[in-house]
Structure 1
Amino acid sequence: MKLKEDINPLLLQVFRSVVWVYSVVTFLPWYFISGAGVNQARAKRVKARSISGLPAGPYRSVNCIDRLVLTLHQGVDTLDKVFEYAASHFPNRDCLGTRELLSEEDEVQPNGKVFKKVILGQYKWLTYEEAFNESRFFGSGLAALGQEPKCNIAIFCETRAEWIVTAQACFMYNFPLVTLYSTLGGPAIAHGLNETEVTHIITSKDLLQSRLKAILLDVPRLRHIIIVDSKPTNWPDMPRGIMVNSMAAVQEIGAKPEHSKVAKVRSLPLPTDIAVIMYTSGSTGIPKGVMISHSNLIAGITGMAERIPNLEYNDTYIGYLPLAHVLELSAELVCISHGCRIGYSSPQTLADQSTKIKKGSKGDTSMLKPTLMAAVPEIMDRIYKNVMTKVDEMSRLQRSLFILAYNYKMEQISKGYGTPLCDRLVFHKVRSLLGGNTRILLSGGAPLSPATQRFMNICFCCPVGQGYGLTETCGAGTISDMWDYSTGRVGAPLVCSDITLKDWEEGGYHSTDKPNPRGEILIGGPNVTMGYYKNHTKNQDDFFVDEKGQRWFCTGDIGEFHPDGCLKIIDRKKDLVKLQAGEYVSLGKVEAVLKNCPLIDNICAYANSDQSYVIGFVVPNQKQLTTLAVQRGVPGSLEELCNSTDMEFEVLRVITEAAIADKLERFEIPKKIRLSAEPWTPETGLVTDAFKLKRKELKTHYQDDIERMYGGK
């Protein structure tokens, strides 16, 4: 999608003439230097084929057409061996990095709210050898505290170096690691701990105080709490029978000769042993624990690594997404398997403009300058809207030149060309938001809008690999080819996965559909996990083994395969609602279209089957809403504007125009909306840690508004 040009026609003609002359003069040398022909061929090549010859598949990557790939390195078939391999090949290279906290202060905002601001120093690094030894001693110390092999142990902690050290310790000593999101509520935490019968938990001082402490009496089996923070802390008011130790103290115990000898006789894991029980974020109810074996994770990271060109030890990855999410855990394991550096961050300290960074000091991307980065669409959408808002604030000449450069680059990359002059003169400031060295961005967790994907490709001067996978498939399924600059697709199957399409009669999707086969996406292969923990009924519904012994997972997502073997997600079974008049509405499709509207930061479409129209809950963009209110002469604070029926009408008018422009059907366009002044964050419980909508919780939260919009109140 081109940006609309707003420039004097004469100046536009001059600019185009200069570009034309420049293109003609540089065409031949640049064509051969840049390898444009090769890039085009790579982008257009067939990337996967149906191995059965049928339109439904199974589809398999052409890079492994004879058989799926199971492991990265020969003989490295468990996760402890992955870390041993890395420590032996890259012992003195940086492994895990954490920024030093220099100072912390409270900053009072104009509205009276107090925000905590930090000034951070340089990254301090553990080498691969040091990280390996820390993990080994920690695992030995846990064993000395009574943790038994094949007995579950939990981690409830923010993303940080200690999380990975803990995970590697558990992999070494065959302790199945139960992972819990740091934003889960008390009942969900207690459910996970009780269901898995853990006696030991690793957490942080903040989470123990703010969340865990309140539910300790509801977890009767718990005996040991290990705090990852370096400063020792006394907890005199713990329930009777619970011991609290620091991570450093447990490592000291594990380093003692009488305990470190355990390493020689420890219970080595088998590929089929459970490595992780990962509790999903619970978008549809109580979180489910997904049992992931060592071989599952190794297959998954093998598939991901194959799709990242030139991955090596010189790469630097920035870790800030929740490690309790399979996307982040898999990405970091991929990096460890290749000796990359991992520097830790958080969404609040990521960039110079992030909420916790004191004005004038540096965010984490500026200090780390990562080459690799993963993000969920919610974060990319925010970056896109923030940058485009700044573009709108430019002078007319600046804005026009930016748009001309944007459209020129979009045309060039579609032909396989680079645009080094545009990158240096126009886009370097945008690129510097992520440190300036990013060579690959990986998007996962939810579909990325074509507009945002194209924007990231152009302005950050690197490919955006959009991936598709689920916790139940170790996050692995597909990743788009780095030379493929098409948008809206999630790429071809990874070398660890087969994908087939199953007809869905109710939704009207069939493998015989023209021009492309469509249906429910089923993922099969060694990365498909062992099922849900203590949930036999759900396992029977969602997993099955075919006649060849291959394990499959039914995703509930609807996709279509394009002729080059790439998959596009087009719908979701659970998001489909049949209206009173018989029309089917895909709520996810409506949301994906309307989130491109600058006025919308987030939206949840809703429909009752006994009603004839769709409604919506909208988190508006504060700046855009305020501007619209001034234009329409509506006074008030953000909360007052969101409660104004006049502003509801005005926002609905803008939404309707955007929906019509994007060719939504009449019955798909929301007829009534409710504006929300409160952003939806994992802390509010209305979205998951991956920022997916929790429809059940949103329905409960807005129940009165639903009744009002449907005429009940």
Structure 2
Amino acid sequence: MKLKEDMNPLLLQVFRSVVWVYSVITFLPWYLLSGAGANLDRARRVKARSVSGRPAGPYRATNHEDGSQQKLVSSLHPGVDTLDKVMEHGAARFPERNCLGTREVLSEEDELQPNGKVFKKFLSGDGRTFKKDNHLCSTPPIRVILGEYQWMSYEETYQAAVCFGSGLAALGQRPQCNIAIFCETRAEWMIAAQACFIYNFPLVTLYSTLGGAAIAHGLNETEITHIITSKDLLHSRLKDILLEVPRLQHIIVVDSKPTSWPGFPRGIMVHNMDAVQELGSRPDNMAVARRRPVPSDIAVIMYTSGSTGIPKGVMISHSNIIAGVTGMAERIPDLEYTDTYIGYLPLAHVLELSAEMVCISHGCCIGYSSPQTLADQSTKIKKGSKGDTSVLKPTLMAAVPEIMDRIYKNVMTKVEEMSSVQRTLFVLAYNYKMEQITKGYKTPLCDSLVFRKVRSLLGGHMRVLLSGGAPLSAATQRFMNICLCCPVGQGYGLTETCGAGTISEMWDYSTGRVGAPLICSEITLKDWEEGGYYSTDKPHPRGEIVIGGPNVTMGYYKNEVKNREDFFVDSNGQRWFCTGDIGEFHPDGCLKIIDRKKDLVKLQAGEYVSLGKVEAMLKNCPFVDNICAYANSDQSYVIGFVVPNQKQLMALAEQRGLRGSWEEICNNPDMERDVLHIITEAALSAKLERFEIPRKIRLSAEPWTPETGLVTDAFKLKRKELKSHYQEDIERMYGGK
């Protein structure tokens, strides 16, 4: 995707000539010093081959050195075969190294919005004095000030986990009896998880955005007596359903204040995490022998956020996670203790948990954040203050496409607002770098002069970005590679495979693909007749993706019917999982996701429409922040629900002379018609078929967030909930009303 240059042709030719001269002068030294030839060889090599020689596979990674078939690997360090040993290994090798970091909150402010809503804003600072009404005060009234990161070393983290686990045992928690954690991503989450791994308490993870019925279902199904949570979630989500969880006896709150918790049902005791750690540190409790886990023991029962129906609990053994972590770590070049990772995705999601375990296994620092405080422009960061990336300056980060798409659109909007000369310089540098990186070259001059500000959005030191959870558009991936000056590894995996399946290699700058199988897994393609996908298809074998290996989990908790549908064991004793995703293998062994069984709808005239494909193509339109395509099989056309980009839509409304609130603009039929026209043009440019293009749309003034229940915590669309939410609009757009 080249960006268009708009500038005086003569001036443009001068710039191009300067770039050409610079390229000629620097070609030889940079070719010799940058290892461009080796990078190209790596990018072009065959990364996986079919073990059987058949087009269907199974495909397995090839060895970097000699191209031979890679044996499946399930262990990262000798003897480290359970998760408690991963933390022990880190504490033994890097005892004084920073492990878990949290920004100190010094004070807070509530900001009243024009619509009457109140939002908390965070201000980074050092606690200096401020003036209000000409009177000095030590902190600005009701304003949140975020300080520096406060760190726990590996040894301190390990000891805190041991004490907490001992305290839980003193409160009656028993080995191989489930314990739940219902908490936001923070250092205490990881300490609690490590405690459970050390004492062999299977950890039940629940998303903080699940509804009350789903939370109660997970707690009752796993027979929970102890739960770890935060003060906010206890009062906002848990308290209302406590009577629906009759086995619950102990609630452990990770916040240090308050110390007493009145108003809870009889029989339920509420404790502070600090108090439980203190209880566990008593000599008589520490002296009690603990039962260590074995690799086949359940480490985590992870309830998926689920795009449909009641969430399912996935049973993940210690050996499953170790295998997944081993595969992921192999794809991150030069991973070592000097790296700093920023954690902000839900730890109840397998991508974040696995990424942080990768870091702990290599002695990296993990600094905690949230989507609302991640960058200087984040919603809870006061203008002029520093977001978490600016303070932490991370080198590693995992992200979902929703967040990357947001960064991409924000930067491109600012590019559109530049003067003609500035915009053309940016575009010229963008296109020049795109050509250079595809040849294996680096562009230090462009990086320092043109892309430095964009790179600073994530702290300026990022060297590897890992994208997962959903497909990443080619435009966004290319933008991240170029403007953030670091490779983006797009990965593919599921909770049922510990998040591990494939990750693209960091020197492979192709887009739209998810890379070759990891060294812990192998992939085969199963024909899907209904959708017309076969392993004999030309030029690429296609079919349902089936993943096998030691990272494939033990199945769904108390759900034998789904286990028989989705999992199977082959004659060699290896477990396999049928993903429901459709993929194709390219000649170099890389996988591309092209469809999903559940996303395929057959229209009245017999045409098949891939809703996911339509959405992926249209999300690149500047007017679209999010989109859900929908089709009824008894109808002849596709419709869509669109969360529009507020800045673009308000500018369009101003051009049309329309005035009103955001809701009124979104509900205006003329705006729907205009946006539909723009989306149709974008769809035609993306070469969608006529029957795939939405014929009618509904603009939504309400953004879709996990809190609204319309998307998962990984920002995947919940089609069932979206259909219910927009049922009246569906009937209207299909002529029922």
Report what 1:71 is aligned to.
75
Q: Distance in 2 between matches of 1:498 and 1:601?
A: 35
C-alpha deviation, 1:124, in angstroms: 0.4
Which aligned segments of 4 or more residues in structure 1 are displaced greater than 4 angstroms? none
SS where residue 525 of structure 2 aligns?
Answer: strand
Tell me which of 70, 84, 87 is aligned to 2:91. 87
Task: Report whether the alignment pairs 1:154 with 2:169.
Answer: no
C-alpha deviation, 1:629, in angstroms: 1.3
Q: Distance in 1 between matches of 2:721 and 2:20?
A: 55
SS where residue 108 of structure 2 aligns?
Answer: strand
For 1:81, the aligned partner's letter is K
Q: Distance in 2 between matches of 1:35 and 1:473?
A: 35
Q: Distance in 1 between matches of 2:583 and 2:525?
A: 7
Report what 2:541 is aligned to.
517
Q: Distance in 1 between matches of 2:380 and 2:671?
A: 31
For 1:137, the aligned partner's letter is C
Tell me which of 695, 703, 714 is aligned to 1:690. 714
SS where residue 210 of structure 1 aligns?
Answer: helix
For 1:6, the aligned partner's letter is D
Report what 1:181 is aligned to.
207
For 1:693, the aligned partner's letter is L
Change (3 A) 1:31 1:353: same
8 Å CA contact 2:61–2:70 kept in 1: the answer is no
C-alpha deviation, 1:113, in angstroms: 2.8
Tell me which of 114, 117, 138 is aligned to 2:164. 138
For 1:237, the aligned partner's letter is G
Task: Report whether the alignment pairs 1:27 with 2:31.
Answer: no
SS where residue 102 of structure 1 aligns?
Answer: strand
Deviations 1:512-557 (A, max 9, x none): 1111100000000000000000000000000001111110000000
SS where residue 442 of structure 1 aligns?
Answer: strand
Tell me which of 619, 644, 655 is aligned to 2:643. 619
Q: Distance in 2 between matches of 1:685 and 1:201?
A: 23
Alignment of 1:294-333 (within 5 A): 294-333=318-357
C-alpha deviation, 1:66, in angstroms: 4.8
SS where residue 240 of structure 1 aligns?
Answer: coil
Report what 2:224 is aligned to.
198
SS where residue 183 of structure 1 aligns?
Answer: coil
Task: Report whether the alignment pairs 1:38 with 2:38.
Answer: yes
C-alpha deviation, 1:155, in angstroms: 0.1
Residues 97-106 or 229-238, more deviating: 229-238
Task: Report whether the alignment pairs 1:236 with 2:240.
Answer: no
C-alpha deviation, 1:282, in angstroms: 1.5
For 1:22, the aligned partner's letter is Y
SS where residue 635 of structure 1 aligns?
Answer: coil
Q: Distance in 1 between matches of 2:718 and 2:168?
A: 36
Q: Distance in 1 between matches of 2:437 and 2:235?
A: 51
Tell me which of 280, 288, 292 is aligned to 1:254. 280
Deviations 1:623-671 (A, max 9, x none): 1111111222222221011111111111100000000000000000000
Identity of aligned residues (%): 82
Q: Distance in 2 between matches of 1:486 and 1:205?
A: 45
Deviations 1:483-526 (A, max 9, x none): 00000000000000000000111111111111110000000000
Task: Report whether the alignment pairs 1:105 with 2:109.
Answer: yes
C-alpha deviation, 1:359, in angstroms: 1.9
Tell me which of 208, 220, 223 is aligned to 2:234. 208
Q: Distance in 1 between matches of 2:69 and 2:322?
A: 19
Tell me which of 569, 572, 575 is aligned to 2:596. 572
Please list every run of 5 or more consecutive structure 2 residues that lacks an aligned counterpart in the other structure: 123-144
For 1:639, the aligned partner's letter is E
Report what 2:6 is aligned to.
6
SS where residue 299 of structure 2 aligns?
Answer: strand
Q: Distance in 2 between matches of 1:110 and 1:197?
A: 46
For 2:628, the aligned partner's letter is C
SS where residue 545 of structure 2 aligns?
Answer: strand
Q: Distance in 2 between matches of 1:689 and 1:107?
A: 26
C-alpha deviation, 1:236, in angstroms: 1.1
C-alpha deviation, 1:360, in angstroms: 1.8
Q: Distance in 2 between matches of 1:114 and 1:472?
A: 39
Q: Distance in 1 between matches of 2:384 and 2:608?
A: 51
Residues 629-638 or 355-364, more deviating: 629-638
For 1:625, the aligned partner's letter is L
Alignment of 1:394-405 (within 5 A): 394-405=418-429
Deviations 1:190-245 (A, max 9, x none): 00000000100000000000000000000000000000012233221000000000
SS where residue 342 of structure 1 aligns?
Answer: strand
8 Å CA contact 2:70–2:519 kept in 1: the answer is no
Tell me which of 163, 166, 187 is aligned to 2:189. 163
Report what 2:432 is aligned to.
408
Alignment of 1:505-584 (within 5 A): 505-584=529-608
Report what 2:314 is aligned to.
290
C-alpha deviation, 1:114, in angstroms: 2.2
Q: Distance in 2 between matches of 1:41 and 1:382?
A: 33
Report what 2:51 is aligned to.
51
Q: Distance in 2 between matches of 1:31 and 1:100?
A: 46
Report what 2:446 is aligned to.
422
SS where residue 163 of structure 1 aligns?
Answer: helix
Q: Distance in 1 between matches of 2:554 and 2:572?
A: 17
Q: Distance in 1 between matches of 2:379 and 2:107?
A: 15
For 1:75, the aligned partner's letter is G
SS where residue 434 of structure 2 aligns?
Answer: helix
Question: For the aligned residues, what is the CA RMSD?
Answer: 0.8
C-alpha deviation, 1:358, in angstroms: 1.7
For 1:56, the aligned partner's letter is A
Q: Distance in 1 between matches of 2:120 and 2:685?
A: 42
For 2:573, the aligned partner's letter is G
For 1:147, the aligned partner's letter is Q
SS where residue 15 of structure 1 aligns?
Answer: helix
Q: Distance in 2 between matches of 1:112 and 1:412?
A: 50
Q: Distance in 1 between matches of 2:665 and 2:611?
A: 26
Q: So what's the TM-score if we normalise by structure 1?
A: 0.99
SS where residue 155 of structure 1 aligns?
Answer: strand
Report what 2:245 is aligned to.
219
For 1:545, the aligned partner's letter is V
Q: Distance in 2 between matches of 1:232 and 1:114?
A: 24
Task: Report whether the alignment pairs 1:705 with 2:729.
Answer: yes
C-alpha deviation, 1:7, in angstroms: 1.1
Q: Distance in 1 between matches of 2:418 and 2:107?
A: 35
SS where residue 580 of structure 2 aligns?
Answer: strand
Q: Distance in 2 between matches of 1:410 and 1:235?
A: 58
For 2:328, the aligned partner's letter is M
Q: So what's the TM-score if we normalise by structure 2?
A: 0.96
Tell me which of 470, 479, 498 is aligned to 1:474. 498
C-alpha deviation, 1:29, in angstroms: 0.7
For 2:326, the aligned partner's letter is T
Q: Distance in 2 between matches of 1:611 and 1:268?
A: 58
Tell me which of 129, 136, 141 is aligned to 2:155. 129
Deviations 1:654-706 (A, max 9, x none): 00000000000000000001110000000000000000000000000000000
C-alpha deviation, 1:111, in angstroms: 3.6
C-alpha deviation, 1:103, in angstroms: 1.6
Tell me which of 375, 384, 400 is aligned to 2:399. 375
Q: Distance in 2 between matches of 1:109 and 1:635?
A: 20
8 Å CA contact 2:60–2:70 kept in 1: the answer is no
For 2:241, the aligned partner's letter is I
Report what 2:60 is aligned to.
60
Deviations 1:85-122 (A, max 9, x none): 11100000000000000120112233433221122000
